[in-house]
Amino acid sequence: MHKVYENAAAALEGVLFDGMSIASGGFGLCGIPENLIEGIRDAGVKDLTIASNNAGVDGFGIGVLLENKQVRKMISSYVGENAEFMRQYLSGELELEFNPQGTLAERMRAGGAGIPGFYTKTGVGTVIAEGKEHKDFVGETYILETGIVTDLSIVKAWQGDRAGNLIFRKTARNFNPPAATCGKICIAEVEELLPVGSLDPDKIHTPGIYVHRIFEGDHEKRIEQRTVREG
């Protein structure tokens, strides 16, 4: 199966449509699939539902899709650092389904594993639990959360091979692996694309069976918040 594409635009060709759902990897500005996000922006698709730990920042990451009014709904955990997100949400232009971070990661993992739902204690007694089924186990109350399955997954890895096997670095491993599995189609961008057999099998985080398309991209190295001492 041919998986290697020249760039984001080529990898996204024939995949995008209005109203689709997308799972996006990354944690803050670490490990976000920035080339694919820009490719989605350039394609102009709209009314998107995006499941992502965060909503990017103004002018970068998912923030560029928000600025272009392409997102209808966000399924997220952390939505700070983005003034346009705040403006759209408070004005009623953007729908938000708020999730604790661990719950969101597990919803993605569950969807990728074919698990339709699971019970968790996280969120019990808060607004997160409103409208959700409650059930007691061994004297403790849990709420039912549903697995996430999306039309498309977009992820960014440190290294990948031509078969789609992926290795993530450090914090980028928080959400990219579960996001990769829960999309009906998964597209990965990598910092370094290697021949098959180059990666140590024991170090692969996402097996190539989950990845349908892959390309090597150019990436920025941004710092979300810089704090320094006076000299």
**Domains in the chain and their CATH numbers?**
8-216 (3.40.1080.10)
pLDDT of the residue at 224? 67
pLDDT of the residue at 173? 93
Return the H-helix or E-strand segment holding 38.
helix 34-43
Residue (of 68, 67, 51) closest to 146 by Cα position: 51
Instruction: Name the percent of the chain lying above pLDDT 90.
Output: 81
pLDDT of the residue at 17? 98
Look at strands 166-167 and 150-161 and give their pairing. antiparallel
Bridge partners of 193?
Answer: 160
CA dihedral 103, 8, 31, 168 (to 10 degrees): 90
For range 135-154, the mean pLDDT: 98
Query: What does pTM read for this prediction?
Result: 0.92
